[in-house]
Homo-oligomer: A and B are copies of this chain.
Amino acid sequence: MAQMQASSAAVAAPVTGAGLLERIRALLPAIAANADRAEQERRIPPENIAMLGEAGLYRAFQPRLYGGLELDAADYGPCLVELAGACGATAWVSSLLAQHVHGTALFSRATQDEIWGANDGADLIASSVAPIGQAEIVDGGILLSGRFGFSSGSDHAQWFILGFRHPGRQPPRDKHFAIVRANEVAIVDDWHTAGLQGTGSKTLTIDGVFVPDHRIESLVALNSGTSQGFGANPSHIYHAAFMPHFNIGFPAVAVGMARRMAEVYAERTRSRIKVFTGQNAATRSPAAIRLARGIFPTEAALSLLEKDWRTIDARSAGRQLPDTDEMFRFRTNHSYCIQLAIQAAEELFGGSGGSAWFLSNELQRLWRNIHMCGAHAGTDYDTCSEVLGRYRLGLDLDPSL
């Protein structure tokens, strides 16, 4: 198969998780230097995407067949945490580009070949997954139309995963994803926000595009090992549900930014002089206490994420899908981890004074961006809390999670 040869050439020696992390670390200064530009241009600088693509980040969950690395979650997660410390928007977009690959590897072989069979398997996939598309059933597939918001990294994708409700299915089994080519989609340049500007999470519109059935999967199928491509790729990492992998990025990015924020706060506090008193800020108890209270929740969140990553990997290594308890945990823990990062950000920023509000000061961007990680529909803390609570109370579940 042509693509195999091509991709083997692209990534000659297998890259381990530690290897990927090392490669990314080497890029962090360059990524950080582009952070302002990402915000001003309201998209990730293409150089960032290129550098990270060459490093292999977007191949973390790609099948070896197409040149991928087939990494475990526990090897992948730390890459995002560190990347987020350099540029949260780049990490946010990159996490989605990388994680979409895992879901796509659960689609049919035909889909995988279409996407990764050319260009050395380097095509990138963005998405807008809320089920708001309108679908009309036609022979061999659907005609898909709709206006989809919040498509992070849309400027860099060759393919899009779009959510819709399948007119032939009943809730909650009707939530579906269709994969379409970027040239079938129009991008609306409407991403004018107060945070994560660099993610370029623009609106997509599509009007009556044909999507063949082999590029359509339901959320339930992707989460339950019943999708068309389940088992097609030999690695254990595809003996897994879609959702837990898809959710890795949001909290990892928030936690990575919060860790960076504590560093910046500490560096700055060491040299900060209070204007009214002429005192060194660092010597005051509240400055130290706020620093610690920025560190504690962040590290607790990270430890919880690491535990979840290991659980994901242990399940796939054992070729078992996560059980219901675990699915609820993966579905909801990430929202709490983001809240912990937000608490940390509030502690640190709340003690940083007016000078931290200047656009030249990294703290304000971290503070905004960390908060915004909690504003994703999937990371909503109230919803996730109610979902987990109802499950633990034995109330009716949402089968698609």
Point out residues on A near B: beta carbons under 8 Å: 130-132, 149-150, 192-196, 262, 266, 269-270, 274-276, 282-293, 295-297, 299-301, 303-304, 306-307, 329, 332-333, 336-337, 339-340, 342, 346, 349-360, 364-365, 368, 371-372, 374-378, 380-390, 392-395
Residue of B nearest to A195 (CB): B357
The 5 A-B pairs with the shortest beta carbon distances in the complex, nearest first, are A288-B389, A285-B285, A286-B382, A292-B385, A296-B336
A262 neighbours in B (Cβ, 8 Å): 392
| Inter-subunit contact B392/A275 (CB<8 Å) | no
Decide yes or no: A300 and B336 within 8 Å by CB, A270-B393, A356-B375, A393-B269 being known contacts.
Answer: yes
Interface SS majority for chain A: helix
Task: For residue A9, give the distance in angstroms from its CB to the closest CB of chain B.
Answer: 39
- Say yes or no: B389 contacts A377, CB within 8 Å: no
Q: Find out whether the CB atom of B194 lies under 8 angstroms from the CB atom of A377.
A: no
When distances are taken between beta carbons in the complex, the residues of chain B under 8 Å from A342 are 350
**In the assembly, what is the distance between CA of A377 and CA of B278, in Å?**
12
A357 engages B372 (CB within 8 Å): yes
- Compute how far the CA of A299 lies from the CA of B330 in the bound complex, rounded to whole angstroms: 13
How distant is A335 from chain B, measured CB to nearest CB, in Å?
8
Name the CB-closest residue of B to A269.
Answer: B393
Q: How far is the CA of A171 from the CA of B154 in the complex (A)?
A: 54
Q: Is the CB of A292 within 8 A of B368?
A: no
A376 to B356, CA, bound (A): 11
The complex places the Cα of A353 from the Cα of B385 at a distance, in Å, of: 15
Contact assessment for A292 and B351 in the assembled complex, using a CB-CB cutoff below 8 Å = no
